[in-house]
Structure 1
Amino acid sequence: MNRLTQFLEEKIMPFAGRVGQQRHLQAIRDGIILTIPLVIIGSLFLILAFLPIPGYDGFMASIFGENWSANLQLPVGATFDLLAIFVAVAVAYRLAERYKMDPLSVAAVSLVSFMLVTPYKIAFTPEGMDKAFDVAGIPLALTGSKGMFVAIVVALLSTEIYRAIVKRNFIIKMPDGVPPAVAKSFASLIPGFAVVLTMWILRLILQVTPFENMHNIVGELLGKPLSLLGGSYIGALIAVIIAQMLWVTGIHGQALVWGIMSPVWLALVDQNRLAYTAGEQIPHIVNVQFMDIFYSIGGSGTTLGLALILFFRSRSKQMKQLGRLAVAPAIFNINEPIIFGFPMIMNPVMMIPFILVPIVIVTVSYFAMDLGLVAKTAGVMVPWTTPAPIGGFLATGGKISGAVLQLVNVIISAAIYYPFIMIWDRQKLREEREFSGTDSSSKSA
């Protein structure tokens, strides 16, 4: 155990720290975070459009007309179908901030660049005809989750080109008396032109290749491999193991791993959403909602069960007090009191279940859905702070099986944590008694 602790402290922690501070990964993470509130807003309308209540459809139709469901899904499309556009703007904005450049100008150029590399044609087959025609328009799939990888690549590339021009001082400088907004606009003219020119040339080159456009080449070379790995059982296991190992070294493992995997998992959420709204079979088990709702019950490491044991079963004063402080936040999937109060960091006793429990929970949850015992997540983005079992019920489209799985996961996690907590609790109780005995002796003397 000492060797493991030493390895984590000397090898994993410095490397993870450097990765966590990498500006491009930080920009991607922070840019993706911008989309989360928008997707949750869209999900609220999606839930209302498909509430699993008998007679609900007829009741809504009698009040709002036959098109009530389609009208209620308009905000869903305005959020989910524009994810790539949000990402193209937000990632460039965050990266420009780190480079101390005008973030709004860089974000605007990134948006133009994304639209420039996106094909402007949609295959349309008129009613009663067999032949498809290309009509002007941008496919919503490419501005939604399918285009997220291109949006990230374009945002990073356009920002770096912009920065290279600014760094060489190839900008138009206005006199001091010119308003700052006007000065910034003219300062962005040459860098912006360089970015747009580069993206235009890139588009023309790709048009004469078998890939035809950037979306196809990025999807083939980057999107598919990441989706296959990130959307698999093995990918989910790797993600939680790395996240937990980072946590025990003192690094916010979930923030780092989720920041890297969110583009993949969000795209899979949207694919589930499209299948759910179309009444088709939901394709993916692993996605953001699977990881947030079924692995993070109580916080990273599925620690709600741990918090309940501390609250009801601990005997030492220190652990009882920690249980009182931790149980309420844990209900809302916040476990910093446990992470830092236990502590879990470099704890030779508790790091074993802290890494083991997520492995078991992900395994149970995955195969419960794979075997059809539990409904898959329906593409509804439920806030990660939603308590169990409400989160599981909503994430699976109002299925009781989702709520039951969350409760089962809490029981499993509590059963695994229990013997380790008792060992730690007895150790703390013994320390308290020894301290109390020492204190009494000193008073007698």
Structure 2
Amino acid sequence: MIETLERYAGRIAAQRHLQSLRDGIVLAMPLIIIGSIFLILGNLPIQGYPEMLAEYGINEWINKIVNATFGLMALAAVFGMSRSLANYYHTDGTSAGILAIAAYILVSPDLVSETGAGVNYTYLGSSGLFVAIVVGLSSAEIFRFFVQKNWVIKMPDGVPPAVSQSFAALLPGLMVILFWSAIYIILQISGIENIHDVLTNTLGRPLSAVGSSIWGTLLMVGFNSLFWFIGIHGANTTNPIIQPIWLQNTDANRLAFQAGEELPHIITNEFMMNFVWIGGGGATIGLVICLFFFVRSQQNKAMGKLSFLPGLFNINEPVMFGLPVVLNFKMLVPFILSPMANALITYFAMASGLVAKPAGIVVPWTMPPIISGYLATGGQNSGAVIQIVTVAVSTLIYYPFVRSLDKDKLRVEEEERASREKDHYTQQMQQPQA
């Protein structure tokens, strides 16, 4: 059964469209993190600080920087997804990515004013992620089809490669633009002015019901842990499907935070990365703490020293494959229960108002706990406190299982030591007497 599950999970993780979707989101992450830095700078929890920024007009500059980084999430993602998928097919990824951007702008509604027309920031950011996914992947498939059919313009051998490559992308690119132009015209004739609303309602609502609810979150946490347990990267397998919802919720909270309004969502990308998966998949921060402080066997002590510091920065591969956790049934129960407990405790603490909700600030996933909780909630001490609580709970969940594992390894080490001493005594007795 394990082998069958591992085989199918591996196929899901290696599926080219899911890989491309993940690559597109990753490409957008530097913009998101940079925007979050300025979002923090514009909202430091210092009395009189926001008023000072407003008085000197600095908050307008900061908001402009945030919109030019965080607000371009979908635009970066559509390029990254199309480029990644085209590269998978060994076609021109850069040309496919640029064409996908053009197609995305084409189908997005214009913002018209007296001074001219343009694209609304709303559709360039997280609100446009579903359209970005469809346009990016579809454009790459159309581009690939015509290239692989060899329906391209070929230039003589003496033409520079850059020029030749541009002409080779001309006919496939024309087909991409014509396809999305036809989609745009059909929607306009049908009285549907906004493709974003259509895709958000058809794709977004079912996924949002999973990604924005605590029960759907527990389901995704369970799948993440099970994939990790059989040796498949859990985040790479599940996140491409549900992460667009978390990022949309993050951006909605970011906009509300900037406007000084009530934050609409609890479950966001930061809720998962900084409050649920503390220490990495399986919330293994509790496991490395137990290995560092509460074991007696020499092997486990060595593993505790090796994995403790990386674990504080949410890097858990040393303990995942060194202890190991992977395919270790003694660790399966706490590996599933620990992140679920973190999700439940943090969710209900935020829902009750005891803890501030994530403020839409994207904190790097390698940020240690306590600091990450403080930053993710917009500089609220409650964000750090709830992480202290969940780290303690995670440690308590892992403790009895680690102690049981440690007793077994300690017994094996004592038996091996006794065997070595016996062999040494036997060798001494067998030596000829002087």
> TM-score, with normalisation over the residues of structure 1?
0.93
Equivalent pair of 2:276/2:340 in contact (CA under 8 Å): no
Distance, in Å, in 1 between the alignment partners of 2:157 and 2:118 is 43
2:342 to 361, 367, 382: 361
What is the match of residue 441 of structure 1? 422
Find the partner of 2:354 among 373, 388, 399.
Answer: 373
Deviation of the 1:114 alpha carbon: 0.7
Q: 1:49 aligns with which of 42, 48, 54?
A: 42
Rounded to whole Å, the distance in 2 between the matches of 1:179 and 1:88 is: 28
Q: Which residue identity does 1:66 align to in structure 2?
A: Y
Matched residue type, 2:59 = S
After TM superposition, list the pairs within 5 Å mapping 1:208-227 onto structure 2.
208-227=189-208
The reply to whether residue 14 of structure 1 matches residue 7 of structure 2 is: yes
Which SS does the other structure have where 1:47 is aligned?
helix
**CA deviation profile, 1:278-310 (whole Å, cap 9, x unmatched):** 111000111110000001211111111221121
Query: 1:319 corresponds to which residue?
Result: 300
Contact kept, 8 Å, 1:121 with 1:134, in 2: the verdict is no
SS for the counterpart of 2:44 is coil
Match of 1:192 among 169, 173, 176: 173
DSSP 3-state at the match of 2:329 = coil
Match of 1:293?
A: 274
Q: Secondary structure at the match of 2:305?
A: helix
Match of 2:17 among 18, 21, 24: 24
Q: Report the Cα distance in structure 1 between the residues aligned to 2:125 and 2:280, rounded to whole angstroms.
A: 29
1:119 aligns with 2:109: yes
Counterpart for residue 429 of structure 1: 410
Tell me the distance in 2 between the aligned counterparts of 1:148 and 1:119: 15
The CA deviation at 1:209 is 2.1
Match of 2:141 among 149, 160, 164: 160
Alignment of 1:275 with 2:266, yes or no, is: no
Partner secondary structure for residue 292 of structure 2: helix
C-alpha displacement of 1:259: 2.5
Give distance in 2, aligned partners of 1:440 and 1:361.
Answer: 46
Counterpart secondary structure, 2:119? coil
Paired amino acid for 1:315: R
Structure 2 regions of 5+ residues with no counterpart? Answer: 427-434
Q: 2:35 is matched by which residue type in structure 1?
A: G
**2:74 aligned with 1:75, yes or no?**
no
Confirm whether residue 245 of structure 1 aligns to residue 211 of structure 2. Answer: no
**Partner SS for 2:101:** helix
What's the CA shift for 1:90? 0.8
Equivalent of 1:39 in 19, 32, 38:
32
For 1:87, the aligned partner's letter is A
Aligned-pair Cα RMSD in Å: 1.5
Q: TM-score by structure 2 length?
A: 0.95
Q: 2:78 maps to which residue?
A: 88
Q: How many Å apart are 1:39 and its aligned residue?
A: 0.5
**Which residue identity lines up with residue 76 of structure 1 in the other structure?**
V
Q: How far apart are 1:135 and its partner, in Å?
A: 6.7
Indicate yes or no: 2:368 matched with 1:387.
yes
Q: Aligned in 2, Cα 1:57/1:275: closer, same or farther, shift over 3 Å?
A: closer
Is the Cα contact below 8 Å between 1:239 and 1:257 reproduced in 2? yes
Q: Spell out the pairing of 1:127-206 with structure 2 (5 A cutoff).
A: 136-206=117-187
Using the alignment, how far apart are the partners of 1:436 and 1:349 within structure 2?
24
Partner residue, 1:419:
400
Q: Is the 8 A contact 2:24 2:84 kept in 1?
A: yes
Q: Deviations over 1:369-427 (max 9, x none)?
A: 11111110000001111111000000001111100000000000111110000000000
State whether structure 2 residue 62 is matched by structure 1 residue 98: no
The one-letter amino acid paired with 1:10 is E
Which of the residues 249, 254, 257 maps onto 2:238? Answer: 257
Distance 1:305 1:367 in 2: 21
2:429 match: none
Contact 1:276 1:378 (C-alpha < 8 Å) held by counterparts: yes
Unaligned stretches of 5+ residues in structure 1: 1-6, 125-132
Q: Which amino acid aligns with 2:354?
A: L
Counterpart of 2:432 in structure 1 is none
Q: What is the CA-CA distance between 1:136 and the residue it aligns to?
A: 2.7
Question: Is the 1:203–1:213 contact (alpha carbons within 8 Å) kept by the matching residues of 2?
Answer: no
Tell me, in whole angstroms, the C-alpha distance in 1 between the residues paired with 2:289 and 2:144.
51
Give me the whole-angstrom Cα distance separating, in 2, the residues matched to 1:110 and 1:60. 38
Superimposed CA distance per residue, residues 126-181 of structure 1 (whole angstroms, 9 cap, x where no aligned partner): xxxxxxx9973322111111111101100111111111111111101111110000
Deviation sequence 1:233-286 (CA, Å, 0-9, x none): 112111110000001101111222122222111111000000111111000111
Task: Give aligned pairs, total.
Answer: 426
Show CA shifts across 1:175-205 (max 9, x none).
1110000000110111011111111111111
Q: Give SS of 2:224's match.
A: helix
Residue in 2 that maps onto 1:4 = none
- Other structure's SS at 2:415 match: helix
